Amino acid sequence: MHIIAGLGNPGTRYHMTRHNVGFDTIDFLAAQYRMTNFKSRHKALIAEGMIQGRKVMLVKPQTYMNNSGESLAGILSWYKADPAQLIVIYDDIDLDPGKLRIRQKGGPGTHNGMRSIISHLGTEDFPRVRIGIGKPNTEMDLADFVLSRFTPEERNLVNEAIERAALAVATMICASVEVAMGKYNG
């Protein structure tokens, strides 16, 4: 079983913010594959189902972004899953709005949610899908920026990226991370 986790912050205050594109992607996957029956377990909202004939779990950690690792470490431990079975989807300020970057493994960069996951799992060896949200202008605080909403033009680009991210996840599950990288990075 693949565990597909989208990072974000719970609550309506954070709905549709830049930092919540991981949650938005999980919601898109849930609607696309009819996995809308989320249950609260392991400090997360979890739905199980099938993508392209493969069993998956969709996860939205409810621990707030900076503590995402608590939830995901608990889930991997409970299901005796290897970190390689985990796919994490999250926002990236180093990519322009709407750009995707898929990687087999790697460090957290400046992302506190990824820092938490790597710390709790004790490894960087799990695939991830990064969705570009752009950088703040020099006057804006980074925390304020990631918790802000997109302009309409940026939102359109990000919505397209979310759809491509969903296709990339299906490719990662059915083919490989390498195939998804070749097809969707850029």
Instruction: Supply the residues annotated as catalytic.
Output: 19
Q: How far is CA 111 from the centre of its chain?
A: 12
136 Cβ contact partners less than 8 Å away, ≥ 6 residues apart: 93, 142, 144, 145
Do 91 and 21 form a contact (C-beta atoms < 8 A)? Answer: yes
Question: In the structure encoding, which two tokens stand for residue 123, read together?
Answer: 């490894």
Question: In the structure encoding, which two tokens stand for residue 160, read together?
Answer: 């397209």
Q: Which residues of 31-60 are buried (b: 16+ CB within 10 A; e: fewer)?
A: eebebeebeeebbbbbbebebeeeebbbbb
**CA-wise closest residue to 133 among 175, 172, 89:** 89
Backbone angles phi, psi at 7, to 5 degrees: -95, 145
Do 3 and 57 form a contact (C-beta atoms < 8 A)? Answer: yes
Q: How do strand 39-41 and strand 44-51 relate by DSSP bridges?
A: antiparallel
